[in-house]
Amino acid sequence: MRYPAPATVYSVGDFVRRVVDSLLRGHCRGQFLCARCLVKLAKDHLDKSYATADITQVMEEIFSSPGPISSVPMSTCAVCGRKKMQCLGVPVPMTTPAKP
């Protein structure tokens, strides 16, 4: 392995994760989206040089280990309306009732 140390190099995965995270916390807040729609949305927000196949692969990785984003095995996609899809979303925090 003769590659230089990738200290500040971001992979496709880093960019896709960042876009997905910002979408789910911003524009699509409180919604759950399927992988297909997330790939489409991410592609719109990423540089044209990213291949759909690469984004799709990263999306599969995000679905299998979502990290701070939640993965819901069975949900209805907020964009395409498909039911019983595995969706990703950021749960909206429940408003805790004020104690007397």
- If binding is defined by CB under 5 A, does position 80 make contact with Zn ion? yes
Compute the least distance from the CB of residue 80 to Zn ion, in Å. Answer: 3
Compute the least distance from the CB of residue 29 to Zn ion, in Å. Answer: 16
Joined together, the tokens standing for residue 2 give 């003769």
Look at the alpha carbons of 78, 84, 85, 91 in this order and tell me if their dihedral is positive or negative.
Answer: positive
- Binders of Zn ion among residues 3 to 62 (CB under 5 A) are 34, 37
Using alpha carbons, select from 37, 70, 69 the residue that is nearest to residue 55: 37
Residues that contact Zn ion, how many (by CB under 5 A)? 5
Note whether 92 and 80 are within 8 A (CB): no
Span interacting with Zn ion, options 3-11, 54-62, 63-71, 77-85, rule CB under 5 A: 77-85
Compute the least distance from the CB of residue 40 to Zn ion, in Å. Answer: 8
Distance of CA 45 to the CA centre of its chain: 12
Q: Given the rule CB under 5 A, which residues bind Zn ion? A: 34, 37, 77, 79-80
